[in-house]
């Protein structure tokens, strides 16, 4: 996949973690960790770990486990290391298509909202299975469609109105892998069994629309797409998103429905 969709660099990791983490990711990370805790794995790989939001929750829930957080973006890994500097988590920079581990290494592999970005999802699933021990568990989640997650659809449309000739399209990528039949087909072809797909929904709250707008604009790769086109438009985009989000979802707090798909399967 083009790096413009996967590049979390510079100030983006901090903004991602601070302004999007509690609103978007904490709830789903808790659900994923719950599922993982039920099987009590001793060695865990967290693929596309980002700033360590899930990784931290796993360490808290399973303190005796050996956890490796892996991400394509060195800046995300570095931020995670600093944030969790007193933890025993091991960090690696690598991609999901060519994992730097031997066969049958992990009891569990997890991935929170990362599979949408994999350029070859079939290959990534095969790799995840390869590094799992026999009967090992693969747990991941992916966003439901952009239309269902209306907050992001709203942000995408606001940005499209500002950049009419060549609109940044990052938001379409995280919400592109929601066809459950396709997901199940790819997992079956990779050799997984006991595949379970379920919808997980929540109403997320954020205290301030201004803070959320920072995350929506400067906490993900759309920031790079905007600055490449016209960096002077960044404040305009944030202001317009604030207005639109406030009118549809409120302010102090912002409340928005979020929908994701969680998958659990075994080798």
Q: Quick: pLDDT tens for 216-249.
A: 999 999 999 999 999 999 999 999 999 999 999 9
Domain boundaries, the chain: 3-145+171-205+258-266
pLDDT of residue 6: 72
**Residues 80, 14: Cα–Cα separation, whole Å:** 9
At the fourth CATH level, the homologous superfamily of domain 3-145+171-205+258-266 is: Vaccinia Virus protein VP39 (3.40.50.150)
What does the pLDDT average to over 87-105? 96
Phi, psi angles (nearest 5°) of residue 2: -55, 135
Closest CA to 195 of 94, 267, 113, 112: 267
What is the pTM assigned to this prediction?
0.94
pLDDT of residue 252: 84
pLDDT of residue 5: 65
- Burial-class residue 55 by CB neighbours within 10 Å (0-12, 13-18, 19+): buried
């Amino acid at each position: 996949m083009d790096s413009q969709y996967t590049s979390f660099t510079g100030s983006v990791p901090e903004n991602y973690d601070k302004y999007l983490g509690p609103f978007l990711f904490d709830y789903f990370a808790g659900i994923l960790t719950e599922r993982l805790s039920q099987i009590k794995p001793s060695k865990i790989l967290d693929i596309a770990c980002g700033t360590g939001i899930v990784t931290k929750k796993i360490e808290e829930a399973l303190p005796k486990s050996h956890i490796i957080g892996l991400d394509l973006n060195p800046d995300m890994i570095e931020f995670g290391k600093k944030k969790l500097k007193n933890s025993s988590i091991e960090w690696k920079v690598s991609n999901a298509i060519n994992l730097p581990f031997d066969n049958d290494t992990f009891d569990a592999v997890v991935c929170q909202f990362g599979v949408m970005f994999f350029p070859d999802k079939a290959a990534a699933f095969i790799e995840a299975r390869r590094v799992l021990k026999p009967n090992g568990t693969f747990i991941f989640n992916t966003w439901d469609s952009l239309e269902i997650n209306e907050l992001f659809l709203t942000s995408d449309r606001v940005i499209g109105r500002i950049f009419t000739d060549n609109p940044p399209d990052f938001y379409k990528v995280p919400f592109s892998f929601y066809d459950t039949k396709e997901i199940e087909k790819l997992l079956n072809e990779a050799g997984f069994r006991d595949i379970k797909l379920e919808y997980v929904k929540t109403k997320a709250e954020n205290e301030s629309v201004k803070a959320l707008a920072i995350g929506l604009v400067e906490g993900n790769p759309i920031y790079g797409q905007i600055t490449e086109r016209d960096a002077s438009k960044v404040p305009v985009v944030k202001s317009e998103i604030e207005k639109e989000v406030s009118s549809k979802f409120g302010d102090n707090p912002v409340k928005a429905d979020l929908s994701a798909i969680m998958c659990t399967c075994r080798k």
